[in-house]
Amino acid sequence: MSTRSSARLKVLFVSGIFPPDIGGPATYVPAMAAALLRRGHEVAVATLSENVENAGDAYPYPVLRIPRNLTKPWRFLRTVVALVRHGWHSDVLFVHGLFPEAVVANFVLRKPQVQKWVGDWAWERSTNKGWTQCSFAEFQRGWHGLRAEWLKLIRSFCARQADAVIVPSRYLGTTLVQWGVTQERIEPIYNAVDTNSVLSVTVPLATRFKLVTVGRLIALKQVDRILRLIEKRNDLGLVIVGDGPERGRLEALARSHGTAERIYFAGQKNHHETLALMAGCDVFVLNSTHEGFPHVLLEAMSLGLPVVATAVGGTPELVSDGENGVLISPASESDLRRAIERLIASPAERARFAEAGKRTVARFGHGTAIDHTEAVLMRAWEKTSLAGRGAPEFGHQARP
């Protein structure tokens, strides 16, 4: 049954990235904003951007782009001021990034605030800066140095300011409880996927089999291990969609191993281009040491690609080993090699996983995800504006 209400909200989305950026929020925010707009709500987006003047926005709602290349203190202040200005007439803030800025702005606005957390930016930043070598789970416990602990303090404080927190997996929900977010404010809502209009493109590789991986090129994605697998098999090629600080090292690694002609660094692509490249390949690989709930795996399954993924974070909530894909250890290169060789050797196995993957995707419909998200936003607004009138309590649990 739909949870839609006759009330219409003014929702301000806050996100650190937005197209032409790639990444989870850059895919989710425009899709959800458009869905809420179709349901009669007013929406606007505030985001950071590399190119404010030539973004070429053609969205049916306002997109406020704040320059990303400002110095950090000035960018923080300018973002807070922009959020106060554009959030003044909003009913609800829907925050997907820029959490400290949104929280500070909301001390002025005093609006209901729904946050969506898909990971731990304190851990990601600490890892990228070399402040910690710990895994995601280890980072949540113990002492990891003054700088990392300061980020953890800010992160947890921000999450606790939300009226409701949407997470894409139950695994991540348990993590937020460790941050001090009460269980009744945590709303697991699985991501949805729609790739019906995607047509594959020709991938510029001549190899018989083509693997594909998608994501920001950072160390935790372990793309270098996939590259070493390519070195061992002349019939394998690899498409890498995404950009990031690891790209230069990965390109040098491919050249030094003599595999550069079998690896296509596609760079950053928009969402449609990314899906089209994925559709032109044979197997999708996600070799991360951590994932919250990887939306890209759903997209790969919907395109009919068998998937190989590490059994980390929320991934096992989506991939059942041997049923709709292959789960491997993030610490084992031999697991990765055996999984790929197993799929290459068996067209029947690839076909079986592809069909099972499509059945899995059928459980993650857009309508259900939109209904649940709309209900969370509505309850956040009702809880604030109708205080004392028996507004519904949080705690609805989304089910795939």
Amino acid at 37: L
Q: What confidence tier does 50 reach under pLDDT thresholds 50, 70, 90? A: confident
CA-to-CA dists, residue 123 to 127, 135, 136, 160, angstroms: 6, 9, 7, 17
Tokens 């890498």 — which residue? Answer: 240
The pLDDT of residue 190 is 84
The pLDDT of residue 110 is 95
Section 317-332 average pLDDT: 94
The pLDDT of residue 54 is 56
* Residue 184 predicted with pLDDT over 90: yes
Sorted by sequence, the CB contacts under 8 Å of residue 255 that are 6+ apart come out as: none
Task: Report residue 49 CA to chain centroid gap.
Answer: 18
The pLDDT of residue 164 is 97
CA–CA dist 161, 13 (Å, integer)? 16
* Residue 397 predicted with pLDDT over 50: no
**Structural domains in the chain plus CATH codes:** 10-192+365-385 (3.40.50.2000), 209-361 (3.40.50.2000)
Q: What confidence tier does 4 reach under pLDDT thresholds 50, 70, 90? A: very low
CA–CA dist 216, 146 (Å, integer)? 27
The pLDDT of residue 195 is 63
